[in-house]
Structures are given as C-alpha cells and as structure tokens.
Amino acid sequence: MVSERAKPSGPKFRRRSEARPDEVLDAALELFVEKGFAATRVEDIATRAGVSKGTVYLYFPSKEAVLEGLVRRGVLPVANSVIEQFAKVSGDPRLILAGAIRMLGNRLSDPMIGAIPKVVLREVVSFPQLAEMYRREVLDRTIPVLVSLIERGIAEGYMRPVDPELTVRSIVGPLVIHVVLAQVFGIVPKGGMEIEALIDNHLSVLFGGLSAPGAPDIG
C-alpha cells in the first residue's frame, strides 16, 4: 500500500518535472534581458527558476545550451508554421506572404518571444554556434521556401519580374530593423512598438511596388 507521503511521485510530480525546462528557460530569458548573457551565471538562472543548479544542468548542459533552447522554443515553431502554411496554401502568393508576415508580427508581440531577438542580436557575434544553429534550422529552411513563392508569383503574373533572393531581404528586413531599433538602440515609435500598424504600412509599400501591372488588389 502506498503511503500518503509517497504520493508526490505520482502524476502531479511528473507534471512538475515536465514543466521545469520551460521554467528554466523563462528564468534565463528574464536574466539575459536584464543582465546580459555574459553576466548571467547558471546559479542565477537556478535561483530565479526556483530549482537547483544541478537541475538546470540536467536539462541544459551549458549556459550556451540554455540560449539555444530559447531560440528553439521561441523561433523554430514560428518558422515551422510559416513553412507549413506555404506548403498547404495555393493561389495568390501575395496573400500567403501577407498572412505569414502578420503571423510573425503577432508572435513578436508576445513579450516572451519578442525578447529573444534582443538577446540573440547581443550575443550572436560572440557565440557563433548560435548563428550556425539559427542559420541551419531557420534560415536555410525558410529562405528557399520564400524564394520559391516569389518565383511562382512572378511566373503566374501576380508579381513584377524581380530578383527573388533580394526581394526576400526586402520582405523580412523592415520587421528585423523595427525590432533592432527598439530592442537594441531603444528607438521606439511614439505610439510604442505597434507591430500591427508597422505590418499594415509595410504590406502597403511592399505590394505597391511588387505587384505586377493589372494584378488584382489584395487590399
């Protein structure tokens, strides 16, 4: 017969154990934003998360692995959603691009996700493994899909003849610069980040220049 004291080893205990990696990542993100990656110790992360230092190492073998874990948790689901959306949807590629950009903007509006670019931009130069991981798992997968979508838009008469690879930079660039100006340099528009307003403005400018003559207005 199992005693009352033994009960914590049941489902409730397992749920707590399964939640700990996210608790560690949440604590680490707060500290990386507050203090910077270099100044944050694993002990600090453990204290903020309310766990032991050994527990942190149980899930993440190094502080660098914690940073990679933040990127994997916050960024990879966005990239996977975009790729999945492109694969399933047919029709006007401009509508697909607009939907993907709005989805990205909504995710960046989440403070727990929006803080990640700030940390990454600070540390990517001194942590080349992070840049390599981000390129391999995000950029090398999403850029070819975007290029292919633009090529299809040109072939089907929705877009003007443009350089697809350079156009990808023009599409993504404004969102990246918006985040960099705010998170790194502290330059924020008077009304705040206003991601949705930025995206509306960006899409208007983007499709005003990208749409082929006679292509239907997507609104």
Confidence of residue 79 (pLDDT cuts 50, 70, 90): confident
For the stretch 185-201, pLDDT in tens is 888 888 887 888 888 99
- The domains of the chain are located at 17-60, 64-208
What pLDDT is recorded for position 2? 39
Helix (H, G, I), strand (E, B) or coil at 122: helix
- pTM higher than the cut 0.85: no
pLDDT (tens digit, 9 = 90+) per residue, 85-109? 777 777 888 988 888 888 888 877 7
CATH of domain 64-208: 1.10.357.10
- Contact of 43 with 65, CB cutoff 8 Å: no
As to burial, measured by CB atoms within 10 angstroms (0-12 exposed, 13-18 middle, 19+ buried), residue 199 is buried
3-class secondary structure, 150:
helix
Amino acid at 170: S
Superfamily of domain 17-60: Homeodomain-like (1.10.10.60)
pLDDT at 81 exceeding the cut of 90: no
The string of pLDDT tens digits covering residues 26-66 is 999 999 989 988 899 999 999 999 999 999 999 999 999 99
For residues 151 and 164, the answer to whether their CB atoms sit within 8 Å is yes
